[in-house]
Structure 1
Amino acid sequence: MNKSLRQKQKFEHLYKKPEQHDQALQTVHNFSNTNISQDAINILQKGFNFAITPKRIPVENIITNVEIALTTVEQPIADEIRLDIANILKKARPPAQNVTKKELNALKELKNNNDVLILPADKGNATVIVNNNDYHQKMITLLNSSEYKTSNTDPTTYLEKKTISLIKSTSLSDKVKQELIPREKSSRIPKIYGLPKIHKENWPLRPIVSAFNSPTHKLARYLAKELQPICVSASSYIKNSLDFLTFQWSR
């Protein structure tokens, strides 16, 4: 399936009957036993990328980040930048609030409610509210499937050493190798979480493994960057590792 055909199918999916649009445009789905106020729905509709304006300018954080950035700057230039930043901060004022007081209070109530979880949906750019117990039970069911098995030891240290060894054995330049090699004894084990599939009955979870700061994180980021230019020639998915190796990639 080429790229243009995929785009056509997406367009046809969006062009639905009028009665289907109400559900498609719904951005907040409450699958929990908790009644959600309209104020809470209003602020959740803004999405996970929405940022509430601060009540004060974070002066300390700004100064700290500036000082970190100036460690490689020559002293005379660094002093000029510090002076400019200081003048800007003296005149700076917090931006106007972008949420109402009721919305903010509703968000605090949801945050303090340990019975519910607020998650992004697997698809649809929607926000999902679920019972905490239901979510954890679904995750346990996923982990107890045949796709996973229990390990008696933490493999992080082994994977870290193995990754370093493999990177050093490649023909990559020394500069690239240094960028890919994880810092020894600083890696963490990948974490799994689930995203609700709101388009399916009883919202099953799609398992997502976060490899951020794992032994292979830098390597995966490098490979993604290298493969991006040729991904347009692939179908919508790669079946497995063998399919990846035998696929006729074109640049």
Structure 2
Amino acid sequence: MHLRLAAELSTADWALIDRTTFERASRAAADDKVRQCHEFQRLHGAQHAGPRTDTKKAVVNLSGRPLEDAAYAALGKGLNYSVAPTVLPIEDFLSGVKRAVRSLPVEAAEEVRQETVRILRASKKPKDNLSGAERRALRALRNNADLTVLPADKGSATVVLSTDDYNRKIRALLEAPTYRLLPKDPKEAVERKTTRLLKKSPLPEEVIQQLRPHGSRPPRLYGLPKIHKEGAPLRPIAVDWWSFGILAYNMIVGLTPFQKRGEICKDCLYERILTREPKMYPVFIRSYEQTVTERSRETVGCGKEGALEIKKHPFFNVSSSSYLFSQ
């Protein structure tokens, strides 16, 4: 096309078109460069935020015991702060890779293991990002069974509680009629039922072996202190049907209903999870499917029928199990 235009147009017209397109492309490239630089600066600032200026505001001590300044400094970095290891955990890396390549062909798995060993041999210990006093303070907190450190229910604060106080509040939550004591652990029965369903499915044998449950553990209940309320009551955290609905949404859409496409700010996402209802439904998610992710006392699965209510939901009304497994 370029050569045909050059042959059919006059020299003056071709020179004008060539100069115009070159200038437009140059301006577009310059604008794109400026935009990319701004985006890099924004992402770099979000991912490499500076340390908090007032760590004592980021750490709420409700234990009644004084904390050292080094403990405030270490905890003030946040519970998601990645502490540089003093020694590279080579054994952990290798065991993790061994589990990950279990389903690969023998030759491919061996190639991955050899490449991992090569990378680990050439790696160096990262630069220490904690002072000696901060490491000693964290070690003392970890070895102190009388103190419990956990995140606040809202915001990014770190809370230090008395372990006795935390256990007392958890026991008070369990005394509510919402929970009841089961006569025995149901996980073995659930594993057997799941295995039977897998054997009846049209899935290939290698896929069934990968999906077969083993070593299951029941979900654990824990509480996050509501520091914005008097007495700092705990909000119970456990896997529930609402979380299941969020997971189903994530599998369908590729994002959580609180997440914005391309968003980097994790604090913004956490704030929406804590304070807002999921409202960002794509047009292809129908209204009755949205009820799976609604967080209220009427949430499906929270009634008297329990899991049966989930199974009866129109979202799971698939007439053919082979069709479901093929999706």
1:34 aligned counterpart, secondary structure: coil
In the alignment, the residues of structure 2 paired with residue 76 and residue 220 of structure 1 have an alpha-carbon distance, to the nearest angstrom, of 36
Q: Against the structure 1 CA distance between its residues 77 and 182, is the aligned structure 2 distance closer, same or farther, given a 3 Å change threshold? A: closer
Aligned equivalent of 2:321: none
Q: Quick check: 1:237 aligned with 2:268?
A: no
Q: Quick check: 1:196 aligned with 2:196?
A: no
In the alignment, the residues of structure 1 paired with residue 83 and residue 108 of structure 2 have an alpha-carbon distance, to the nearest angstrom, of 37
CA RMSD of aligned residues (A): 4.1
Report the residue type matching 2:60 in the other structure. Answer: H
2:188 aligned counterpart, secondary structure: helix
In the alignment, the residues of structure 2 paired with residue 188 and residue 166 of structure 1 have an alpha-carbon distance, to the nearest angstrom, of 20
Distance apart, 1:51 and its partner CA: 2.0
Q: Against the structure 1 CA distance between its residues 30 and 56, is the aligned structure 2 distance closer, same or farther, given a 3 Å change threshold? A: same
Larger radius of gyration: 2
Q: Which residues of 2 match residues 169-188 of structure 1 at below 5 A? A: 174=203, 178=208, 182-183=212-213, 186-188=215-217
Aligned-pair identity in percent equals 30
Report the residue type matching 1:126 in the other structure. Answer: A
1:118 aligned counterpart, secondary structure: strand
| 1:159 aligned residue (166, 190, 193) | 190
Aligned equivalent of 1:223: 248
2:91 aligned counterpart, secondary structure: helix
In the alignment, the residues of structure 2 paired with residue 61 and residue 120 of structure 1 have an alpha-carbon distance, to the nearest angstrom, of 26
Distance apart, 1:92 and its partner CA: 2.6
Report the residue type matching 1:103 in the other structure. Answer: E
1:174 aligned counterpart, secondary structure: coil
Q: Which residues of 2 match residues 118-157 of structure 1 at below 5 A? A: 118-157=149-188
In the alignment, the residues of structure 2 paired with residue 96 and residue 39 of structure 1 have an alpha-carbon distance, to the nearest angstrom, of 19
Q: Which residues of 2 match residues 67-146 of structure 1 at below 5 A? A: 72=104, 75=107, 78=110, 82=114, 85-146=116-177
When normalised by structure 2's length, the TM-score is: 0.53
2:184 aligned counterpart, secondary structure: coil
In the alignment, the residues of structure 2 paired with residue 224 and residue 89 of structure 1 have an alpha-carbon distance, to the nearest angstrom, of 38
CA contact (8 A) 1:27 1:45 kept: yes
Report the residue type matching 1:183 in the other structure. Answer: P
Q: Against the structure 1 CA distance between its residues 59 and 190, is the aligned structure 2 distance closer, same or farther, given a 3 Å change threshold? A: closer
In the alignment, the residues of structure 2 paired with residue 121 and residue 86 of structure 1 have an alpha-carbon distance, to the nearest angstrom, of 40
Aligned equivalent of 1:45: 76
For structure 2, the 5+ residue unaligned runs are: 1-52, 258-279, 282-289, 303-309, 316-327
Q: Against the structure 1 CA distance between its residues 223 and 162, is the aligned structure 2 distance closer, same or farther, given a 3 Å change threshold? A: farther
When normalised by structure 1's length, the TM-score is: 0.67
CA contact (8 A) 1:193 1:209 kept: yes
Q: Against the structure 1 CA distance between its residues 204 and 228, is the aligned structure 2 distance closer, same or farther, given a 3 Å change threshold? A: farther
Cα-to-partner distance string for 1:179-221 (whole Å, 9 max, x where unaligned): 995515x32222211111111111111111258xxxx9xx889
The structure with higher relative contact order (CA 8 Å, sep 6+) is: 1
Cα-to-partner distance string for 1:140-199 (whole Å, 9 max, x where unaligned): 111011111222222223333445566777xx8626x84995515x32222211111111
In the alignment, the residues of structure 2 paired with residue 77 and residue 226 of structure 1 have an alpha-carbon distance, to the nearest angstrom, of 28
